[in-house]
Chains A and B, each alone.
Chain A
Amino acid sequence: MSSWQPGTILKLETEHYLLRSLTGEDASEAYISWWNDPDVQASLGFEPRGWDWSHAVRHIQRFDNRRNFHLGIFPKGESLPIGFVSVFIEHGNRALTNTVIGNRAYWGRRVVLEVRERIFDFLFDEIGVAKVYGRVESRNFASIFNYKAQGFTCEGVLRQHGLGIDGKRCDTLMFGLLRDEWKSQAKTGAFR
């Protein structure tokens, strides 16, 4: 369990990373660049945002650490994040998550699986959500792998709903994970 209280900075720890609620002071040049990086934004299904420092700070400050969180991913011993996870707890006791690894040196290093495992434990055990879900463009193979590797089910295909990394229209996939499914993985050790 964490020592977090609603409205305060959330800190979680994994084997290799520290997760902490970002604050305006974390709006570094690297953080801003992720919002303007075509590849990173395409993985989220967006065009580059054209954000500057003030826009980035306003974005970070939207997160209240009660019903939504914007957690920086910090390799242990380092002061700059390599990416972030955004969490939105919605009506219906479900949570939407988005994960971005902005630092390319960490792509393919199972960062997403490691940090989301801790976040899912937090969401299911401490917040008590019934379901976690996410959406991804069908050409984002790396992200789809991560959903599959953590036992998510593809619950729907929104046909030609988004724009892929290659700029062409593509399907948008909805992935969901129920509390019992996550707990069952914990018991069997599957995917962990």
Chain B
Amino acid sequence: MTAAADETARRLLATALQVDGGEIDGEAAIGRTERWDSLAHMRLMLGLEEHLGRTLTSEEMLSIESLGDLIALLNGAPG
């Protein structure tokens, strides 16, 4: 489950940042990762919702500031 979440999180973030998956730094975060800008964040949220098949709650959406947050959310997501 954790490995799958890690892989999915990296794929979603790479797609949003428009880079290869291998370029995703394990410490990737808002304010630290140059390519993580407002449009990339929008792509990430929409990609995450598409993956989950539902709309994110405000609390979920606000929780995501790093790759680690994304993995944590995916680990807690049903299915």
Q: List chain A positions with a Cβ less than 8 A from chain B.
A: 107-110, 112, 138, 141-146, 148-149, 154, 157, 171, 173, 190-191
- Quick check: which of B1-9, B20-28, B40-48, B70-78 contacts chain A, the rest being far away? B40-48
**Which of B38, B45, B46 is within 8 Å of A108, CB to CB?**
B38
Instruction: Specify the chain B residue showing the minimal Cβ separation from A140.
Output: B42
Most B CB within 10 A of own CB, among A112, A141, A154: A141
CB of B61 within 8 A of CB of A145, answer no
Majority-rule SS of B interface residues = helix
Selected A-B contacts with CB under 8 Å, 22 pairs: A107-B38, A108-B38, A109-B37, A110-B37, A112-B38, A138-B61, A141-B38, A141-B41, A141-B44, A141-B45, A141-B46, A141-B61, A142-B39, A142-B41, A143-B38, A145-B37, A146-B38, A148-B31, A148-B65, A154-B62, A157-B59, A191-B31
A148: B residues at CB distance < 8 A: 30-31, 65
Majority-rule SS of A interface residues = mixed
Most A CB within 10 A of own CB, among B42, B45, B59, B65: B42
CB of B31 within 8 A of CB of A171, answer no
A107: B residues at CB distance < 8 A: 38-39
Instruction: Specify the chain B residue showing the minimal Cβ separation from A191.
Output: B31
CB of B38 within 8 A of CB of A142, answer yes
Closest CB in chain A relative to B72 CB, distance in Å: 16
Instruction: Specify the chain A residue showing the minimal Cβ separation from B38.
Output: A142
